[in-house]
A and B are shown apart, each in its own frame.
Chain A
Amino acid sequence: MAAHSAVFSASRIINPLWGRHLGNAVKVFGTTLTSHRNKTLHVPPPAKYGGRHTVTLIPGDGIGPELLSHVREVFRFSCVPVDFEVVHVDSALEAEDDIENAITAIRRNGVALKGNIETKHTMPPSVKSRNNLLRTSLDLYANVMHCQSLPGVQTRHKNIDILIIRENTEGEYSSLEHESVSGVVECLKIITRSNSLRIAEYAFQLAREKGRRKVTAVHKANIMKLGDGLFLQCCREVASGYPDITFDSMIVDNTTMQLVSKPQQFDVMVMPNLYGNVVSNVCAGLVGGPGLVPGANYGRDYAVFETATRNTGKSVAGKNIANPTAMLLASCMMLDHLKLYSYANLIRNAVLTTMNETGLHTADLGGRGTTSEVVQSIMRVIQSKGQFTADI
């Protein structure tokens, strides 16, 4: 904790002298440096008092607020012992106070559930993406997404089961840009050995835990020889320590081609930040769209859950047609993280039953159900399981 605040105050001192760019560099490298020193420090216990957990809730923009209110509705109905601390982040403000408050709240509680915060183009380029700021400040280095074909959803490809692990803090998303000459902009992509080793280690550990057989590293090392070359080398080093898991690598453009023709060949995929963005969105599209897949961002000390494709969904906001599945499944992942497994399974089964068996689909899946109808159906399934529930 103290180390993190030291990094922040250091960057604030440096900022007026050297401008935001070096300050950002301190933040990017700083969290890496301090995380090594923190290894021996005591990890704070989860925010649990009287058997109830406290979780930070960031509604965000677009469909975020309505989906998260549905999550709260379902949780209240199922008597889940989780209380939400709501923190609003206004994307129209230039100051970073809102997001700083949110980050502090997440540090306090350890776990968060969030909607996507919009990045307005009308703001000057010095206003960075709030979502990115949150991920880098909390060092949420692994973004995990599990894409699975659901039997009740019609898609062009069947039997997809891919686990995507994406490096979440560096790479192309370092937000280090400058215009050295007028009309020429340089953007830096940073790849570090320690972060690449960390994400590769995470990927192989997770693969082993879930009983997966193959890990594929996605890269573009034929063009970015040093950067992606380093990433690939780190993956190979870690792979040598897991002889039970097959490791291979694939160039990103070939990967996308293979994904749209034969996605069943992939098992676990690990990759740097930008390719992760592309591949995760392609996979989400293959299994049925942005409304179905939950995503999780894990750091050493914190975990933040959201929808996998991180859309604000402005075009469907406020119309009661958004698909609540992704956010509800993300909240189940959060319950798993809090070790409330029975509640997680209860809600997850209810969601999947509604999706696959009753066939009640929202507009994005070609159905005509509204969000509230789907949520009501889920709550009916939960009630029918005979658990203790609150009044509807």
Chain B
Amino acid sequence: MWRSTFSLQASRGVAALKNELLQSRSFIRGMKTVTLIPGDGIGPEISEAVMKIFQVAEVPVEWEERNVTAIQGPGGKWMIPSDAKESMDKTKLGLKGPLKTPIAAGHPSMNLLLRKTFDLYANVRPCVSLEGYDTPYTDVNLVTIRENTEGEYSGIEHVIVDGVVQSIKLITEQASQRIAEYAFEYAKNNQRTSVTAVHKANIMRMSDGLFLRKCREAAEKHKDIKFTEMYLDTVCLNMVQDPSQFDVLVMPNLYGDILSDLCAGLIGGLGVTPSGNIGAQGVAIFESVHGTAPDIAGKDLANPTALLLSAIMMLRHMGLHKHAQKIETACFNTIQDKTVLTKDLGGKAKCSEFTKEICQRVRDLE
């Protein structure tokens, strides 16, 4: 199988050492440990592809694989398995493949459980047009930062009388402040020039008004970054006409959901879009946002680009910029070349061939 006993034993040994020495992310022989959650469907094969590419690029990362399924703890509360939680608490970094959401399984979706367990408050999606994978939009280079814990997705709904349903959208000062601060920090750390707050404060005067106020306050503290605010409908209108005018977008939950998928659609869909979730206490989980694709699972047809780009995001988050740049260049060149592409990108190659091509380019870039 893809997990060799040697690396498993090695990671167990490393984990034991770490537990004795340090609690937080540690450097043993210069290696950082990252929790890997392969996921379901095509998850395992694309995770293997990423591990192989990282190995060839000699990235100082060690993988600790865990599986995430919902288990019922004491008191009937649903939670993730304790070994997965321990691993994440220790490494503070995760790379996750697609997880299947079972219908009527009695428990909430795994993504929701992970989000609640680690308080993943910011969902970051950089959308950059891929050269070689042509869409009608060629000049997209923006980042959507979405508040991920409250807003319209609070899940609080009531039936007031028969035939009248009320959903509550919750906006708190604390969460809005946190996401606004993060947006400006991200812009500063990634050499971005402007942040745009997306809202509908003309209609939702108090709730989006509060969000907007917090964004304005955060903008005051970061005067070197340009701050604008724009209505959601204006953003949608301008996005499909000229996406190059946008840089970093920050917004509450629902608008973020719609806009981040809109931007993913501009560059070619969820199969080529990376995504990162930032949590409190420095936890970060990077994931591919596409589905599990059960119809092509196990057939070596999957496209590992989304997971690979998310892993590259993770490298940048860790500060390993040189490795990130190398792997990213290899990946982009492969797609631009158009000779070895998986089926969803318009080619005929297998997943393993695509991976091998990227590995070869990484070696050539040494």
Q: Which residues of A are in contact with B by a Cβ distance under 8 Å? A: 29, 119, 121, 125-129, 132, 156-157, 172-173, 175, 177-179, 183-194, 220, 223-227, 230, 252-254, 256-261, 274-275, 277-278, 280-282, 284-286, 289-290, 309-311
Contact = CB atoms under 8 A, between A and B. Distances in A.
B12 interface: no
A253 B205 contact: no
Interface of B: 135-137, 152-153, 155, 157-159, 162-174, 200-207, 209-210, 212, 232-234, 236-241, 254, 257-262, 264-266, 269-270
Given A183-B172, A185-B206, A190 B166 contact: yes
Contacts of A157: 136
B61 to A, nearest CB: 32
16 contacts: A121-B212, A129-B203, A178-B206, A186-B207, A188-B168, A191-B165, A193-B164, A220-B254, A253-B260, A256-B261, A257-B264, A258-B265, A260-B136, A278-B258, A282-B237, A285-B236
Contacts of B266: 260
A226 B162 CA distance: 12
Contact of A156 (B137, B165, B234, B261): B137
Given A188-B166, A226-B158, A226-B167, 4 more contacts: A191-B164, A230-B165, A256-B265, A282-B237
Contact of A192 (B165, B210, B212): B165
Contacts of B233: 277-278, 280-281, 309-310
Q: Which 8 A-B pairs have the closest CB atoms?
A: A257-B265, A193-B163, A285-B240, A183-B173, A253-B261, A125-B205, A156-B136, A119-B202
Given A177-B205, A285-B237, A256 B258 contact: yes
B234 A311 contact: yes
A171 to B, nearest CB: 9
B170 A252 contact: no
A114 to B, nearest CB: 16
Nearest to B204: A187
A253 B158 CA distance: 24
Contacts of A253: 257-258, 260-262
A257 B271 CA distance: 12
A340 to B, nearest CB: 31
A188 B210 CA distance: 15
Contact of B207 (A177, A226, A309, A310): A177
B265 A190 contact: no
Main secondary structure of the interface of A (DSSP, over half): mixed
A29 B357 CA distance: 63
Contacts of A289: 237, 241
A190 B258 contact: no
B17 to A, nearest CB: 43
Contacts of B159: 226
Nearest to A229: B165
A225 to B, nearest CB: 7
Nearest to A194: B163
A177 B204 contact: yes
Contacts of A190: 164-166
B205 A227 contact: no
Contacts of B261: 253-254, 256-257
A289 B163 CA distance: 38
B238 to A, nearest CB: 7
B129 to A, nearest CB: 13
B130 to A, nearest CB: 14
A183 B206 CA distance: 11
Contacts of B207: 177, 185-187
B241 A185 contact: no
A173 B172 contact: no
Tell which of B163, B165, B174, B200 has the most Cβ of chain A within 10 Å. Answer: B165
A185 B207 CA distance: 6
A187 B171 contact: yes
A298 B266 CA distance: 33
B169 A277 contact: no
A103 to B, nearest CB: 18
Given A178-B206, A187-B206, A260 B262 contact: yes
Nearest to B241: A285
Given A253-B257, A261-B135, A282 B262 contact: yes
Contacts of A281: 233-234, 236-237
Contacts of B157: 224-227
B140 to A, nearest CB: 10
Contacts of B204: 172, 175, 177, 187
Contacts of B166: 188-191, 227
Contacts of A257: 261-262, 264-265, 269-270
A277 B201 contact: no
Contact of B265 (A175, A223, A260): A260
A156 B240 CA distance: 9
Contacts of A129: 202-203, 205
Contact of A282 (B136, B202, B203, B236): B236
A258 to B, nearest CB: 7
A256 B207 CA distance: 24
A191 B167 contact: yes
Contacts of B135: 261
Contacts of A261: 135-136, 265, 269
B152 A189 contact: yes
A313 B148 CA distance: 32
Contact of A260 (B165, B200, B240, B254): B240
Contacts of A173: 203
B238 A132 contact: no
Contact of B258 (A29, A126, A252, A258): A252
A188 B206 CA distance: 11
Contacts of B239: 282, 285
B153 A223 contact: yes
